[in-house]
Amino acid sequence: MQIANTRAVITGGVSGLGFAVAQHLVARGAKVALLDVND
C-alpha cells in the first residue's frame, strides 16, 4: 500500500493509538490532520 502523498484525518490524535498512527503515516510521507477534544 502506497502511503506517500496521501492525506489522512485522525480523530483522537493527541495521544495513544491515534498519535502512533499519525507518526507512522507522517514518517512515510502522508499529510496528516489531527483532531481531538479539549476537556
pLDDT of the residue at 38: 85
pLDDT at 23 (0 to 100): 96
* Alpha helices (runs of H) in 1-39, residue ranges in sequence order: 16-27
What digits encode the pLDDT tens for the residues 3-39?
999 999 999 888 999 999 999 999 999 999 999 998 7
Residue 32: predicted pLDDT: 97
Which of 28, 36, 37, 16 minimizes the C-alpha distance to 7? 28
Cβ atoms < 10 Å from Cβ of 36? 13
pLDDT of residue 39: 78
pTM for the predicted model, two decimal places: 0.83
Rg of the Cα atoms in the chain: 10
Which pLDDT does position 19 carry in this prediction?
94
Cα 1 to Cα 4, 5, 23: the distances in Å are: 9, 12, 17
